[in-house]
Amino acid sequence: MNNETMNQTAAARDAAQPVVEARGLDLTFQTNDGPVQALKDVNLTIDKGDFVSFIGPSGCGKTTFLRVMAALEQPTGGTITVNGMTPDEARRNRAYGYVFQAAGLYPWRTIAKNIRLPLEIMGYSRARQEERVKDVLQLVDLEGFGEKYPWQLSGGMQQRASIARALAFDADILLMDEPFGALDEIVRDHLNEQLLQLWARTNKTIGFVTHSIPEAVYLSTRIVVMSPRPGRITDVIESPLPKERPLEIRDTPEFIEIAHRVREGLRAGHSYDD
Ligand SMILES: Nc1ncnc2c1ncn2[C@@H]1O[C@H](COP(=O)(O)OP(=O)(O)OP(=O)(O)O)[C@@H](O)[C@H]1O
């Protein structure tokens, strides 16, 4: 191998820094009705700056995988590292922010105070808290809404506030569990566009759970198709779509082709016997 080729190989390796590496991951829950295998032999690498969506029918382990990454569940087999550490160490290093399906804002605190909460807990100075709140409100297009209470905002705005809270301590990784699932389609389209812009501006690594094929295809650099009983990965689709994605991209043949492959993957992994 000549020097130039070696340099190119090294550059490619540096460019693709693995953020999450799961190898042979298993998770079996012990329940009163017996063991439930939520994840079976999951192998996945997520690189820095990837936008990875997890799609699959109910119960295929999407949320469980996200929770394992966030150290909220312990695997019962295999290995997983986040930024080269255990998920627990990564959590203590503030590697991720987590966004749930429900915005989960405290109704008695203003939007700014909701966003400030994790920073207060982490002991940020008052000045630094103010600075971060201002920055993240701007990132999610909610400048001027900091002093409002959650009930004064629409559902879409509340979800943006919840994303702002997850971004407050500037974690590298954003884990989002069906964050827009409860919103109507127009609002969802708008938030999808905004999320892509935010991702492009911040270069975060995003793990995103969804039930929607168009949402997964529109947002992702990589789509992980899962199937249930036991929960496992059946396909990983690398998106050929450019990083710049106007909503109209959804009408292009490339988009429709990826959506078709996701649908086929879901169909193949689905058992119609139950
Ligand atoms: N704490 C738990 N104890 C026992 N079983 C659990 C627990 N959490 C999840 N499970 C089971 O593990 C399986 C995977 O659940 P999980 O919530 O990860 O699926 P999902 O793909 O996110 O589903 P959905 O799309 O409905 O949110 C399911 O069978 C679920 O009932």
Distance CA 25, CA 73 (A): 12
Q: What is the ipTM of this complex?
A: 0.96
State residue 123's pLDDT score: 87
Q: Is 266 in the pocket of ligand 1 (CB under 6 A)?
A: no
Centroid of ligand 1 to alpha carbon of 5 (angstroms):
46
- 219-248 pLDDT, tens digit per residue, is 999 999 999 888 999 999 999 999 889 999
State residue 3's pLDDT score: 53
pLDDT along the chain (274 residues), means of 10: 51 69 96 92 95 94 95 95 94 87 87 92 90 90 94 91 87 91 83 89 93 95 93 94 92 95 87 49
Q: Is 158 in the pocket of ligand 1 (CB under 6 A)?
A: no
Q: Which domains does the chain have, with CATH numbers?
A: 17-95+171-269 (3.40.50.300)
Centroid of ligand 1 to alpha carbon of 88 (angstroms):
21
Q: What is the CA radius of gyration of the chain?
A: 19
Centroid of ligand 1 to alpha carbon of 22 (angstroms):
19
Of all protein residues, the one whose alpha carbon is nearest to atom 7 of ligand 1 is: 29
DSSP labels, 34-48: EEEEEEEEEEEEEET
Distance CA 131, CA 116 (A): 10
pTM listed for this prediction: 0.88
- 151-191 pLDDT, tens digit per residue, is 999 988 998 899 889 888 888 999 999 988 877 888 888 88
With beta carbons less than 8 A apart as the criterion, state whether 244 and 51 touch: no
Centroid of ligand 1 to alpha carbon of 247 (angstroms):
32
Query: Mean pLDDT of all residues in the chain?
Result: 89
Distance CA 212, CA 264 (A): 14
